[in-house]
Structure 1
Amino acid sequence: MMLDLLGGFGEKGRTSLAVNSVNNRILLDVGIKVGAAGAEYYPALDGPVDDIDALLVSHAHEDHIGALSWLLSRGYAGPIFMTAETRAEAPATLAAYAEPDDFRRFPVPDHRIEIFEPGDTLRTGNLTVRTGRSGHVVGGVWFAVDDGKSRVVYTADVVPDSNVFVMDTIPHCDLLVFDASYGADPVPGAARAREISEWVARHPQGCLLPTPLSGRSLELIAALPGPFAIHAGMRSSLEAQIGATGAFLPDVSELLRSRLASAADWADADPLPPLPLLADDGMGEAGPSSRLLPRADQAGFAVLLTGHLPAGSPGDLLHRAGRADWVRMPTHPTLSGNIDIWEKAGRPDALGHSCPTDLLADLKNHIPSLRTQCRTGQRITVPQGSNNENPDL
């Protein structure tokens, strides 16, 4: 089995990985890189795409699905595997991040979508693909790909210590391609959630919290210390996410349902509220927050950014100018989580995705088998059989 590293290796964004075995080739995710331009915006997928037998999408965030219309425009005509939740969220992501003409000509092709549930096992050619809940978003999954000789696990984005979502245990494998977004950050999610709650409590006059529509929004809702408002356009999506009760830790869906029911709806024409206001997206690149960030800045309305800020994004510029605060709400693994994933996977060879090179070097001090030299554009071979306790899944 061989892997083509098509995006997200030595960089954050355009996450994409091709798995090759015998005459079978599948693509895991097809993301874009916010802040990049030209070819670097898309996966490093050169040449024709008619040798791709299937596309499997882990979830609907832009760095994992934002290049779908681009891939279709290049002639990809095969099946697309995703969960129902990912399918529901994909059009909004593509509308915000796809090239407009590509999205107009190549929207999500419903007739080619193969819906599966987290926990299902998929088969394409000689490859068997086991899936599990990611703990990152409702409907998000990891993939364990097996060709009978070796197994590679691609975690996509996972959160082993989420306060809201369930993450299923990663199986033993011969190569672990894991979510290294935070490098060796040792601060656990619970501590960050308390820090955010305390920050919000210090701003009783109101504040803006830009957030992705899925995933982190629910983590924030669970962490907020009191009443809050949401952009009205978020409500139906948040209700649908909360309705997927199997994605949540015990009793969390009821807590979130109660909290959302009491949240105030806010519209663009309204004055800024004396409450914490959640609005998508998290970087100010698209959605209501792209309009709200400059409005909040002009009004002196406090802003708290809680996720990844690509260089040059509106959120990044505001933070660097000292006019917005930043506290990371972990929606990726911190150090203890990644060590635990690696150990439970059998301490295999490992690659870290979605991480700049300097942070990978720090992480290798804790995960000795981490290959820090791998970069987007390279092809690597998966070791055979050393850690695969059940080749037939």
Structure 2
Amino acid sequence: MRRKIFALFVLSVCLFATLTASAAATVTDVNWGVNQYNVLRFVVDLTESSRYNIDVDGNQLYIRVPGAGLGSKVARRSTIKSDLAKSMSVQRDNGRVTIRIPMEKRIRRSEVHSFMLRQDPRTGRPPRIVIDVESNKKSVASKSYGATSVNRRPTPAGTQKGNGSPAAVPAYTNYKVGGGLSGKTVTIDPGHGGSDPGAIGLKGNKEKTSALAISNYLCSYLEQAGAKVTMTRTTDVDVYGPYASGRDELQARCDVASRSKADVFVSIHHNANNNRSVGGLATYYYPKTNYDARLARCVQTRMVNATRMNNYGTPQADFYVIKRSSMPAVLCEVGFISNQREEELINTPWFQKTVAKAICDGIADYFSN
């Protein structure tokens, strides 16, 4: 009898070990972002919820996931564009995955905050660890932070042959401002993309993904209204090409509008704020023509009326794409991805279609005036 009990015990232990091994987490992706308060965030995607450890050793930050595997598609070294860190490495050793981030200065453990998010069955987002480093956090939000493009190397894509400099595209200034939407050319710019995820929400949703979804709906509505549409990107890619400088990437978006002889340029983004209760809509413009402000007012009015979200108006801003595009242009901040409620809303097809239709109607109002 004792032998049978012992055999059952051994079998149970082996079965438990097998089940535990099969359920061990695997790290499938590691992303970073910088919000408008200059908080550096890391998001570690997993196949299963898992224990993790955060350690600070002088100017080294370590994120460790004990017992985890490391997915083959995870970049082993990545470049970070932040005043806190310039690079990170990911490796698996001693039965754990270690993410090492050399910091530009000594940081304190109390300046690093983290939490674990479970798998979201509604959106399909996997379990993930979120780590915020607040060592250089600012008290006032600034648009000089928030863009999360990597510090990329020059690439010959989109350049003139032989000289490595961006191919010059003549500015287009013969744009139309009236006569209805039908027959007009609109360039849509889904913000970020490719190596640049944009802002990352509390649940790990990336700005680049929902910005593209809204842009695709907007394209469909505009075409149904008789407009001609060009898009700076239609998939998850860098517009200029991988490893371009920030300026080359943004100028490539303006060049799409110039080549298309666009009458208006509309860039789609989401806002972010360290205060997660902040939410709402804004449409930015740069007063380079007599029509930018009018376009912004038309679009903002329609978005607010359609969604009933907080109205942050039509502020002036010198964002590159609306300043350097030669035709009337706006940059729409469609909700705050840092706000948990709005992050969920932003990722629903209903909201994406609603706001896309509102932007389309706003553009139609602009051309009808």
TM-score between the two structures when normalised by the length of structure 1: 0.28
Q: Which has the higher contact order (CA 8 A, sep 6+)?
A: 1
TM-score between the two structures when normalised by the length of structure 2: 0.29
